[in-house]
Structures are given as C-alpha cells and as structure tokens.
Chains A and B, each alone.
Chain A
Amino acid sequence: MIQVVGLGVVATILILLVKEQKPMFAFLLATFVGIVIFLTVIGKITEILKVLAHLANQAKVNQFFLETILKIIGIAYIAEFGAQVTRDAGQGTIAAKIELAGKILIMVMAIPIIITIIETIINILP
C-alpha cells in the first residue's frame, strides 16, 4: 500500500513539475503511473477472484454463474481504467463512450440470464 501511495505522490510531484514545460510528458507519466498502480492491484484482485472461484467450486456453484460474474468484474475494471485514462487526457467524451461500451457489454452478459428467467416464468404460468 505504501508503495502505491509513494509512487502516486512522486508521480504527482513530477507531473506538476513537468506540466509547465511539456504537458505531453505529464500526460504520458500520469498514464504510465496509472497502469503501474492498476497492475499492482490487479495481482491482488486475481487472488481474491481465485479464492472466490475456489469457494464457488466447493459449494458446487454453477460454472455459468461464476463465469458471468468474473466477466462482469473484468469488463467493469477495464472500462473504468480506460475511461479514467482518457479523462485524464482531457477527453471526457471518449471516456463517456468507453463507459457506455462497458455498460452495454455488461447488459449483453445479462441477456441470456434474462431470457432464461423469462422463459422459466412463462413455462411455470399455465
């Protein structure tokens, strides 16, 4: 955690120094630090997800449920990261589009589930 905070503080000071002279470098630095922090955190997230998957397997949770959940988390994180990077670069509209893509993909994941639920309900009702 200290590493992440240290890296963040150092990167912020550097960006503040560079921004006056070369705004381009400042953006690149910000993106790079962002990626590094994301990568360090993603390792931990993988561990958490592994634990979850293990638990789910032990409890005999349907693989389809687990896959969907993991895909949703992945989409959410990647969309979030991309949106933040573009927003940092001052491209708010593109960030919004990336977020939209993320939302749509998550909804696409939901379609088979919705279909199954609706079919079940229709079949139950006489």
Chain B
Amino acid sequence: MEWISDWLKQIILLVLIATFIDLLLPQQSLSRYVKLVLGLLIILAILQPILQLLTDQLSVDQLLKGDQNASKEAAIPSIATIQRQAEEIKSNQQHEWIKTWKSNFEQQLKKLLDQRYPQLVRQIEISVEWKDQQPHLNQILFILRNPNSTNQKVDPIQIDPFIQRDNVEQKRNQQHLKDLIQKDLQQFWGIDPKKVQMEFE
C-alpha cells in the first residue's frame, strides 16, 4: 500500500507546484505553454503505475509463471505434477493388481487341471485387460502335452499303414480333451469357451 500513498503524494505535490509556478510566471504569453507542459507532467504522474507495469513488460503469463516458480521454490508441486504422479501410482497399482490376479488364477487353473488330468498342462498363458476399474479376462492359452505321450511312457512301435489312422485318433483325442477342459472351466468359473485356446506340443 506504500506505493499508493507515494503516488498520491507525488500527484498532490505536482499540482501544488504547478499552481505556484503559474503564479510565479512573468507574462501571459508564455504561461499557456508552461501550463500545457505542467498539465502533461501531471498526467504522466497519474499514469506512472501503468507506465511501470508496461516498462517492466509484466504480462499475465509472466505473473503466472512467476507464481509457478515461487511454488517450485517453496517445494510445493503444481496441480499438474500431482495429477501426473497420481496417474503413475494408479497405473502401477493396476499393473501390480493384474500381475497378482493373473498368477493366482494361473495357480488355481493348474491345480484343478492337474487334479483331473495329471501331467497334461505344461504352461498357461493368461491375457487380461483392465476395464471399468477391474481386470477382465481376454484369453487363456493352454499349452498341453500330447495325451498319448503322457499316458504311455513307452511308445509302441508303429507300422506305417497305421500311422494315418493313429493321427486321426490323436486328433480326435485332442479335440475331446479340449471340449472337456472348456466344459470344466465354464462349469467352475463361468469362462466363455471361446476365450479358451489350446495348443498341443
């Protein structure tokens, strides 16, 4: 507030001096000119705060920037930074949650399938999508051992004419297994059979 009082004092004194000088002036012919200049001086004194603002090139942007700098100095992060950090934490949390959920589900799946079909499951790959604040199952990929190789440790010697017939039978077996597993999954967890994929080694 000090500058306002200084500013007002300056204007008042200038007006006083101007009046005084108007009286002191010797002749009428020059007084008009002197009055003009004194009037301009008073206008300048009135405009001085605005003039200072303009000469310092203070724009609103700069003032805002100044505020940001001040907040940086005071070690208070801006709202944008806080929001960014919050997003980072959120995405990290989601990531962790998905990871835990996946590993738990994988363990349970493996446990169940191992009980029912021992030695069959080799690997389970689950793909999950984050939707509506919770994980959604996209697809489950089972990599299974060949049922024939798991059940029969020693393969019988195969004779050529039978190979084709064996292959057809193997495929039928595989399809049957697939159907069984899909059915189980639907029964236990209500998983859509379309989401379940199987590959045999």
- Digitize A45-89: 1 where CB-to-B-CB distance is under 8 Å, 0 elsewhere: 100100010011001111001001100110011011101000000
Residues of A near B21 (CB, < 8 A) are 69, 72-73
Contact across chains for B40 and A120 when beta carbons are under 8 A apart: no
Contact across chains for B26 and A76 when beta carbons are under 8 A apart: yes
Summarize B's interface: helix, strand, loop or mixed. helix
Summarize A's interface: helix, strand, loop or mixed. helix
Residues of A near B37 (CB, < 8 A) are 68, 72, 106-107, 109-110, 113
Contact across chains for B30 and A79 when beta carbons are under 8 A apart: yes
A106-B37, A113-B44 known; A59 vs B30 contact (CB < 8 Å): no
Per the bound structure, the CA–CA distance linking A73 and B33 in Å amounts to 11
Indicate whether A3 reaches chain B with its CB closer than 8 angstroms.
no
Per the bound structure, the CA–CA distance linking A56 and B27 in Å amounts to 25
Residues of B near A76 (CB, < 8 A) are 25-27, 30-31, 34
Among residues 4 to 63 in chain A, which have CB atoms less than 8 Å away from a CB atom of chain B? 45, 48, 52, 55-56, 59-62
Per the bound structure, the CA–CA distance linking A81 and B25 in Å amounts to 11
Q: For residue B16, which residue of chain A has the nearest CB?
A: A55
Indicate whether B51 reaches chain A with its CB closer than 8 angstroms.
yes
Which among B6-14, B147-155, B187-195 touches the partner chain? B6-14
Contact across chains for A65 and B30 when beta carbons are under 8 A apart: no
Per the bound structure, the CA–CA distance linking A114 and B44 in Å amounts to 9
Contact across chains for B40 and A114 when beta carbons are under 8 A apart: yes
Partner of B29, one of A68, A99, A116: A99
Per the bound structure, the CA–CA distance linking A124 and B54 in Å amounts to 8
- Place the interface of chain A in its size category: 20 to 34
A60-B6, A110-B36 known; A45 vs B24 contact (CB < 8 Å): yes
- Digitize A94-126: 1 where CB-to-B-CB distance is under 8 Å, 0 elsewhere: 000001001100110110011011001001100
Indicate whether B69 reaches chain A with its CB closer than 8 angstroms.
no
Q: For residue A81, which residue of chain B has the nearest CB?
A: B26
Partner of B44, one of A55, A79, A116: A116
Contact across chains for A113 and B41 when beta carbons are under 8 A apart: yes
With both chains docked as a complex, state the minimum distance between the C-beta of A99 and any C-beta of chain B, in angstroms. Answer: 6
Per the bound structure, the CA–CA distance linking A62 and B49 in Å amounts to 12
Contact across chains for B47 and A65 when beta carbons are under 8 A apart: no
Contact across chains for B51 and A120 when beta carbons are under 8 A apart: yes
Contact across chains for B30 and A103 when beta carbons are under 8 A apart: yes
Residues of B near A60 (CB, < 8 A) are 6, 9-10
Indicate whether B17 reaches chain A with its CB closer than 8 angstroms.
yes
With both chains docked as a complex, state the minimum distance between the C-beta of B41 and any C-beta of chain A, in angstroms. Answer: 5
